[in-house]
């Protein structure tokens, strides 16, 4: 076996290995993206809108807090933290701050940093009279 045929085999093996690694990385990346975006649950929560703000260092996201209906004192268990992706919903919530609001949400397995700080993503809100 001469040196040039040995180098061709090494190059072929190296090229094949790179393609396998690249394919595995793409498949893993796509699977990971769908896993983190999977909805665990969806529903609604009602309470007094305590805070809604635009926050973040690298990714500016809309974050809010809802004091849940039915609890008298404001404690860690009675406050629900949520994130908002849509700017229009954020503007509506700003107008309703201090009022009773029903928020419709989707709970993600693990939200990406650009989606918000929490796994609860509010996609619709309406005031409750």
Judgement on whether residues 76 and 102 belong to the same structural domain of the protein: yes
Higher pLDDT, 52 or 129: 52
Judgement on whether residues 25 and 61 belong to the same structural domain of the protein: no
Nearest to 112 by CA among 43, 42, 38: 38
- pLDDT for residue 2: 82
Q: Domain containing 18: what range?
A: 1-36
Q: Is the pTM of this model over 0.85?
A: no
- pLDDT for residue 103: 95
State the total domains in the chain.
2
Phi-psi region of 68 (alpha: psi -120 to 50; beta: other; left: phi over 0): beta
CATH number at residue 78: 2.40.50
Judgement on whether residues 54 and 106 belong to the same structural domain of the protein: yes
Are 92 and 129 within 8 A, CB to CB? no
Judgement on whether residues 25 and 75 belong to the same structural domain of the protein: no
Q: What is the pLDDT of residues 60-99, one digit of tens each?
A: 999 999 998 876 667 777 899 999 989 999 999 999 998 9
Whole-number Å distance between alpha carbons of 18 and 100:
57
- pLDDT for residue 1: 66
């Amino acid at each position: 076996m001469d040196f040039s045929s040995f180098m061709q085999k090494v190059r072929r093996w190296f090229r094949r290995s790179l393609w396998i690694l690249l394919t595995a990385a793409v498949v893993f990346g796509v699977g990971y993206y769908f896993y983190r975006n999977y909805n665990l649950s969806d529903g609604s929560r009602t309470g007094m809108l305590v805070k809604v703000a635009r926050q973040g260092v690298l990714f500016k996201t809309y974050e809010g807090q809802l004091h849940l209906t039915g609890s008298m004192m404001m404690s860690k268990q009675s406050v629900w933290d949520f994130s908002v992706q849509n700017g229009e919903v954020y503007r509506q919530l700003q107008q309703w701050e201090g009022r009773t609001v029903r928020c419709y949400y989707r709970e993600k397995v693990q939200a990406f940093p650009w989606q918000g700080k929490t796994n609860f993503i509010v996609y619709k809100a309406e005031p409750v009279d």
